[in-house]
Amino acid sequence: MTAIDVETPEQARELDEAQFYACLTQRNQGLIPDELQERIGRTRLLIAGCGSIGGATVQPLGRMGYRHFVLADVGTYELNNLNRQNATVDDLGRNKASVGVDLLRGINPHVDARVVPDGITAANVRALVEQADVIVDGVDVTTPSGLAAKIRLHQEACRQRKPLVTAWDMAGMLAAQCFDYRVVREIFDGQIAPGDEERLDTWEVVFRIAPRAHIPGEMYRELRRGLARPDYSVPQLTEAATQFGALAVHMVNVLVSGRPLPRTVAVDVHHVAMTRGRRLVDRLHRHLERARFLAWLPPEQAWNGFAPAPVYRARRQWALRVAGPSRERTAP
């Protein structure tokens, strides 16, 4: 269909769905093959968690031409979210998924978008994953309930063999990850053992599933200063969180096209914006701060959070055999 020039809201709203979509995606032509654009238009997306990470993907995916969405988030906007999340003062107190759907409909009034204000729960995760072709995981991990929801989402995606993209924003670093559970058979590449979400504390699990090789030195330093405080809230910056919008839209396109992706795509805007000499110092600083952080952690926490997966799982299995079933929950 030949696209036409549309210059006013009234003209846009007079178009039927096919005409509107042709105009919306007109500038994709030449870089996005027609067959891929057709697949994009049919693909069903689940965006689980619509805050810093998941929320950064909503508008780019809508602008690319995705038009079938389920947005799930139990949270509401607070003022401290506005330093990095796609919301305004007028959105404070509103459900994050509801705001995301409004943004999508502001881009494409014909979009098929549904809000799940309960977030990811044991009761709904199976149905939500069944309805999705690709999953964007933006579930927060800094609370026990959020971490449990994230693990539940990956377990169900793995069971149903659905591709999933997620990301971690850490200081200036955005580490986007693809777990294509059509071929990957263990959640988080086997970094956690069954029951770890109950046996380990929240931060031990977070360090096990996070891309530890990409944690910047400034983040290790900040965590060493903050984790001992019971009221600690991890700082997050807009230059890291918003990167996932660009990375996720391309990664989802690659999955929809049927091509493979690397496990992790990491971009540290603080690092790449340094001079060559400063980048060398920054690399050395990261190793130094990691060593300081591991030395600061109690030995058992350091082991639980940072031991290589094969060694960690072997020790876990050995401890369970020695302790017996009655001590399974407390075995180191």
> What does the pLDDT look like over 152-186, one tens digit per residue?
999 999 999 999 999 999 999 999 999 999 999 99
Residue 224, classified by CB atoms within 10 Å of its CB into exposed (0-12), middle (13-18) or buried (19+), is middle
pTM surpassing 0.85? yes
Domain boundary assignment for the chain: 32-307
Under 8 Å between Cβ of 212 and 286: no
**Per-residue confidence (pLDDT) for residue 5, from 0 to 100:** 83
Pairing relation of β-strands 163-170 and 134-137?
Answer: parallel
Cα–Cα distance between 288 and 220 in angstroms, integer? 9
Cα–Cα distance between 232 and 230 in angstroms, integer? 6
Out of 3.40.50.150, 3.40.50.720, 3.40.50.620, 3.40.50.261, which CATH number does the structure's domain 32-307 have? Answer: 3.40.50.720
Identity at 160, one-letter amino acid code = Q
- Please compute, for residue 181, the number of CA atoms within 13 A of its CA located in the half-sphere on the CB side: 24
**Per-residue confidence (pLDDT) for residue 332, from 0 to 100:** 42
**Per-residue confidence (pLDDT) for residue 329, from 0 to 100:** 46
**Per-residue confidence (pLDDT) for residue 106, from 0 to 100:** 97
**Per-residue confidence (pLDDT) for residue 330, from 0 to 100:** 45
Cα–Cα distance between 267 and 45 in angstroms, integer? 24
Q: Which residue(s) pair with 163 in the sheet?
A: 180
Q: Which residue(s) pair with 48 in the sheet?
A: 72, 137
Q: Which residue(s) pair with 112 in the sheet?
A: 68
**Per-residue confidence (pLDDT) for residue 208, from 0 to 100:** 96
- Residues of the chain scoring pLDDT < 50: 328-332
Cα–Cα distance between 212 and 290 in angstroms, integer? 10
Identity at 237, one-letter amino acid code = L
**Per-residue confidence (pLDDT) for residue 77, from 0 to 100:** 98
In Å, what is the CA distance from 226 to each residue of 59, 168, 169, 232, 299?
Answer: 33, 18, 17, 6, 18
Chain centroid to CA 80: 20
Cα–Cα distance between 4 and 20 in angstroms, integer? 9
